[in-house]
C-alpha cells in the first residue's frame, strides 16, 4: 500500500501537554501534508513539507520529515481543547494524494 | 472568499437508484479531487481532474462510478445502481495547482438503504 499510516491510532493527553503523531509510508513522495478533521466536518490543511525539507513550523505545529526512514511526525505544542480532532497525513506522489487512517487526538480538560 | 461547496449535504437513496453529487471548487482552481470516506477511515482517493480532463481515475471502485468536469470548474460524481456499500461521505477538494495544498468541501453524506 502506498498510503501513509499514522501512529498511534488514538491519543489522549492533558490540556497543555504536547502531542506527537507519527506517519510512515512506503514509496517515494513529492511532498507530505498533514490535515485535521473535526468530527463530521471537512478536512483542514495544516502544513505541507516537501521531500527536500526536513522540518517546518507553523504556530504551535512542528512537522519533521525523514525520507531515509520514510516517516514524518507532527508535534502540537501546548495543546488546547480545540485541538481535539482526527489528524491525517497524506503522501503526495505523482498526481495523487493518499491519506492514512488518521490519529484521533483527544485533549482532556 | 468562498470555499469549496458540495451539494447536497446529505443524500438518502434506495439500493439500485442513481445519484449525482455536485462539487463547486474555489474559483480559479485547476485541480479537483474526489474522495470517499467511511467511518473511522481516512479519505480514499477516487479521481483527479486537471482542467476538464480526468488525469487519474484509478481510484474509482468500478464502472458504476463516473465523474465529469465539462467546463473545468463544477464537477459531478455520478453513481449508478447504488449499493449499500456505497454509503459514505464523499469529499471534494480543489487546488490551485497539482501536488499542492488541497482545500476541502464539507462533503456529501450518502446513505443507501
Report if residue B72 sits inside a domain.
yes
Using CB atoms, which residue from B33, B45, B91 is nearest to A42? B91
pLDDT band at B39; cut points 50, 70, 90 = confident
Report if residue B109 sits inside a domain.
no
- Cell for A60? 504551535
Report if residue B34 sits inside a domain.
yes
- Cell for B42? 481516512
Q: Do residue A88 and residue B43 have CB atoms under 8 angstroms apart?
A: yes
* Segment (H or E) for B91: strand B88-95
Where do runs of H (alpha helix) occur along chain A?
A: none
Q: Which residues of B touch A32 (CB under 8 A)?
A: none
State how many domains chain B has.
1
Report if residue B70 sits inside a domain.
yes
Q: Which residues of A touch B35 (CB under 8 A)?
A: 99
Report if residue B50 sits inside a domain.
yes
- Chain centre to alpha carbon of residue A102: 8
Report if residue B105 sits inside a domain.
no
For residue B60, the enclosing domain spans 5-98
Encode pLDDT of B103-112 as tens digits: 999 999 999 9
For residues B66-78, give the mean pLDDT. 96
Q: Structural domains in chain A? A: 5-108 (2.60.40.10)
Closest chain A CA to residue B42: A101
Statement: residue B87 has pLDDT above 50? yes
Does B40 lie at the interface with A, CB-CB under 8 angstroms?
A: yes
Q: Which residues of B touch A3 (CB under 8 A)?
A: 42
Q: In what order do the strands lie in the sheet with B19-24?
A: B5-7, B19-24, B75-79, B65-68
Q: Which residues of B touch A87 (CB under 8 A)?
A: none
Q: How far apart are CA B50 and CA B82, in angstroms?
A: 27
Long-range Cβ contacts of A5-10 (<8 Å, 24+ apart): A5/A100, A5/A101, A6/A87, A6/A88, A6/A89, A6/A100, A6/A101, A6/A102, A6/A103, A7/A103, A8/A103, A9/A101, A9/A102, A9/A103, A9/A104, A10/A103, A10/A104, A10/A105, A10/A106
CATH number at residue B29: 2.60.40.10
Closest chain B CA to residue A10: B40
Report if residue B38 sits inside a domain.
yes
List, run by run, the mean pLDDT of 10-residue segments along chain A (109 residues). Answer: 75 96 92 90 91 96 96 97 95 83 93
- Chain centre to alpha carbon of residue A35: 6
Amino acid at each position: 500500500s502506498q498510503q501513509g499510516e499514522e501512529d498511534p491510532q488514538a491519543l489522549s493527553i492533558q490540556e497543555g501537554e504536547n502531542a506527537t503523531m507519527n506517519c510512515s509510508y512506503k514509496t517515494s513522495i513529492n511532498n507530505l501534508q498533514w490535515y485535521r478533521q473535526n468530527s463530521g466536518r471537512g478536512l483542514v490543511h495544516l502544513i505541507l513539507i516537501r521531500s527536500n525539507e526536513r522540518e517546518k513550523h507553523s504556530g504551535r505545529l512542528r512537522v519533521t520529515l525523514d525520507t531515509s526512514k520514510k516517516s514524518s511526525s507532527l508535534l502540537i505544542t501546548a495543546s488546547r481543547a480545540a485541538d481535539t480532532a482526527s489528524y491525517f497525513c497524506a503522501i503526495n506522489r505523482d498526481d495523487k494524494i493518499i491519506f492514512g487512517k488518521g490519529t484521533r487526538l483527544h485533549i482532556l480538560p | 472568499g468562498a470555499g469549496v461547496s458540495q451539494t447536497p449535504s446529505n443524500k438518502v437513496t434506495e439500493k439500485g437508484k442513481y445519484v449525482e453529487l455536485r462539487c463547486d471548487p474555489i474559483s480559479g482552481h485547476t485541480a479537483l479531487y474526489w474522495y470517499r470516506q467511511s467511518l473511522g477511515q481516512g479519505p480514499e482517493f477516487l479521481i483527479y481532474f486537471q482542467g476538464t480532463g480526468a488525469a487519474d481515475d484509478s481510484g474509482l471502485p468500478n464502472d458504476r462510478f463516473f465523474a465529469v468536469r465539462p467546463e473545468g470548474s463544477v464537477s459531478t460524481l455520478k453513481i449508478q445502481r447504488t449499493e449499500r456499500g456505497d454509503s459514505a461521505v464523499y469529499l471534494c477538494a480543489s487546488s490551485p495547482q497539482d501536488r499542492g495544498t488541497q482545500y476541502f468541501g464539507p462533503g456529501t453524506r450518502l446513505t443507501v438503504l
